[in-house]
Chains A and B, each alone.
Chain A
Amino acid sequence: SQQGEEDPQALSIQEGENATMNCSYKTSINNLQWYRQNSGRGLVHLILIRSNEREKHSGRLRVTLDTSKKSSSLLITASRAADTASYFCATDAGTASKLTFGTGTRLQVTL
């Protein structure tokens, strides 16, 4: 079963704009990870944020985590056409390597 929902389900923006995706989850977590998936390909790891962290940055990516609201957001700044992909959040409870995934956001970046 899915841990939670991602919002929006689909997002279309122009190159250079920022893209924000939100993820909500249902149970307590240890870590939350974001992944990118190009059509028909595997998952590429973007960033891991631990439950005691509130914000993390990696290049053009910024991730926030609000454990009180059981939600996370992924911000991609200055989007490029190559950012076109599906983005998933995934949570774990810490005692295993079992990830529970959200439903994903399909991002389309047009020139």
Chain B
Amino acid sequence: KAGVTQTPRYLIKTRGQQVTLSCSPISGHRSVSWYQQTPGQGLQFLFEYFSETQRNKGNFPGRFSGRQFSNSRSEMNVSTLELGDSALYLCASSPTVGGNTIYFGEGSWLTVV
């Protein structure tokens, strides 16, 4: 079956703009989580959704938000973009919460200029 699908793969935005990234989990997976990867901070957890509810949130400002739809697809939004938001944003899915193998997508490369 298809893996975790993220769109778009690459995008360039200007400071102050906002961006929305999309993630389709593996079919049947109900838990979706998001991570930010930068050279300086490494891989950091953003948030996790299960059954349309945010279960966990990482230590990121309120400009970072997300949501999950009834079909388990998820979106994350970053408002008022800053140069430091340039990163690879990775989405991951698992069947349920806790104790499962977690599968990642190819990521969305965001460059803020």
Seen from chain A, the residues whose Cβ lies within 8 Å of a Cβ on chain B are 1-2, 30-31, 33, 35, 40-45, 48, 50, 88, 90, 92, 94-101, 103-104
Contact = CB atoms under 8 A, between A and B. Distances in A.
A95 B94 CA distance: 13
B97 A95 contact: yes
Interface string B85-105: 000101010100111111111
A2 B102 contact: no
Given A95-B97, A96-B48, A96-B56, A43 B42 contact: no
Nearest to A44: B104
A64 B40 CA distance: 28
A45 B93 CA distance: 12
Could you say which of B44, B45, B101 has the most chain A C-beta atoms within 10 Å of its C-beta? B45
Query: Of A42, A44, A90, A100, which is in contact with the most chain B CB atoms at under 10 Å from its CB?
Result: A42
B107 A41 contact: yes
B42 A42 contact: no
A96 B43 CA distance: 17
A94 B107 CA distance: 24
22 contacts: A30-B99, A33-B101, A33-B102, A35-B104, A40-B88, A40-B109, A41-B107, A45-B101, A45-B103, A45-B104, A48-B101, A50-B99, A95-B97, A96-B98, A97-B31, A97-B50, A97-B97, A97-B100, A98-B58, A99-B92, A99-B102, A103-B42
Nearest 9 A/B pairs, CB to CB: A101-B43, A43-B104, A42-B106, A97-B31, A42-B104, A98-B56, A42-B107, A97-B94, A94-B98
